[in-house]
């Protein structure tokens, strides 16, 4: 049914529908993350729990439910995003993803080995996570800036 409707519309309407799907996908991921953050933050604040102890302070079934729902929303949002993007956006995302992976794949083992050699402290998972995100964001942004 939807395919028949899409066949009867022009290229402009098709592009607008794709753009709406794109932004809806981003919204699903963002709103899902915001809901998880609000629930955990409210719970931690209400129970006077340190940020690093938030998840351990929740009842296990609630923690599992929140994690499962947030994971499901993320997967759904990513699937919708993938369905809405064109080939250029896909390639830009692949570049960003590859840069993130390479950053993680190099930073963690190097930091781990230096930590085992007692040269520096053991690896900080959040620093590595954000470094990988930044590397991916820079690669993605560079591709977008270069294409303009």
What is the C-alpha to C-alpha distance for residues 145 and 102, in angstroms, rounded to an integer?
Answer: 21
73 shares its domain with 18: yes
26 shares its domain with 76: yes
35 shares its domain with 77: yes
Section 27-35 average pLDDT: 82
Domain limits for position 50 = 1-85
Nearest to 108 by CA among 141, 136, 130: 130
16 shares its domain with 47: yes
- Per-residue pLDDT for 57 more than 70? yes
Which pLDDT tens digit goes with each residue over 63-96?
A: 898 889 888 888 887 888 888 788 888 899 999 9
Section 21-38 average pLDDT: 81
Q: Among residues 63, 85, 107, which one ends one of the domains?
A: 85
Angle at the Cα of 127 (from 126 to 129), degrees rounded to 5?
60
Q: Among residues 68, 85, 102, which one ends one of the domains?
A: 85
- Per-residue pLDDT for 128 more than 90? yes
Q: Hey, what are 11's tokens?
A: 């290229």
Q: Quick count: other Cβ atoms within 10 Å of Cβ 62?
A: 13
């Amino acid at each position: 049914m939807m395919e028949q409707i899409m066949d009867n519309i022009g290229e402009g309407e098709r592009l607008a529908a794709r753009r709406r799907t794109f932004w809806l996908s981003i919204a699903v991921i963002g709103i899902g993350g915001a809901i998880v953050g609000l629930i955990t933050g409210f719970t931690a604040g209400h129970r006077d729990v340190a940020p690093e102890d938030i998840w351990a302070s929740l009842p296990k079934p609630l923690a599992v439910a929140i994690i499962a729902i947030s994971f499901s929303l993320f997967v759904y949002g990513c699937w919708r995003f993938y369905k809405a993007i064109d080939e250029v956006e896909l390639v830009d995302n692949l570049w960003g993803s590859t840069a993130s992976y390479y950053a993680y794949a190099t930073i963690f083992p190097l930091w781990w080995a230096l930590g085992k050699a007692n040269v520096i402290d053991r690896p900080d998972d959040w620093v590595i996570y954000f470094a990988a995100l930044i590397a991916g964001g820079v690669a993605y942004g560079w591709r977008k800036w270069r294409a303009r």
